[in-house]
Chain A
């Protein structure tokens, strides 16, 4: 469930409005602490389930704060308390204190002979401490909501009062919001239904008031993809990518690099760029699975900009961003990607040359190592996830030669329009007669080809 939080400032509230807000926060914080102390005596030894806990906080329970006018915050207080208590139970530390009052300070000072400094400091630190005012749901009739005027200004409608202290017989107040470009994006998403606002918190920082609003972005239905993008660790740049069509043809490659930004920000930048490229190419994202094995990129004397740990962190970011963007992503083994020939499949380590180059010792194909690695990664799912089995064919003068490598099967058929059908029939016969002699790997493929739709499961590829 991807949540995003947006902080937005209340725009220049008037003095009276400030007073209202400050007062609301104050009342909320006080009520919270009082309730916290009140519930201590009736808490069981073990954390009860949430419903039980909430049942404890009944009308009687709230009597102790009846003079604070916190009726509009009742639900919020309950949930807030429950959360804090859950943390307390799990941490098993001392009972939490969120605010100290004048009485507490006085009690301390009047009390013991010698007061320890830490105790005093703690007490003062919590003195009249403001707690974020929780609005537990987005609702036009209670808690909080956001709306836009005709002129386009955004406003927050906050229910802060009970019947007694209602302002102009209204139990809410309206505050214009300071929406900059990046907040506009969230608000627009909310308007168009892409995301849903959930809870919010009112906080005060020095003289300014802010609303922290949690938006829920449901994972989008997966986009249809027409290509694969493989992203590997780079040698001359942070990352390197290759985009492959479903046929295996590589249509573009390139480096992904971010300078002058470090740490988590850099990882965010890189992951954003990956998402952008994937969207641009309508591609299924393939990244290396470096948690269980290595990609063997690093060699003696070769410096690789990103460590395995860095790559894994970026991968984690990409995986949740991909979900938000409706993109598919898979993590595959990167074992031999940097020494497997993209032309002939030969995978000897000796194919690596001069640390960042590649020359195949079987067919002579040469390339930069980054191209080889990213191409291999991008095409990983094509060989074994794609249902179609490759059959190579070559047209001779009067015949066509078909070859199915996996089963070591080669056949010559008369050159005619039904050659492929003839091939399928003979292949099926061959399989039916020899299936018991096949290796497990071969049997897997063979079984796919028995049956009615053998033809549709074959990808005929011409060799010139």
Chain B
């Protein structure tokens, strides 16, 4: 596992306390898990995602991640409707480990409230939270 300083927390996304990231793409929000989460989980071997059209509240579980160590839940960083899922993850779950912020994205949401994303943390705030938890 990496040291916190070695992990990447880009500033173009917002972070949830449960370690998901959310990227504002104007009409939609794209969601995945951050570098810290993928590093802690280890090799991801299976990703279970919701159906397109499902709606969730903020904090609801929208899927599960299975790594060689354990199964973990993934939670909605903002409330909204699922408009797309990353189909590639069913064949290549390793994308979550390799490119957590890009090709490892998980779902695209049409948010109920476009401003809700701003209640999440910035990369710097998130890293401070992680350091506090160490």
Q: Do A and B bind each other?
A: no
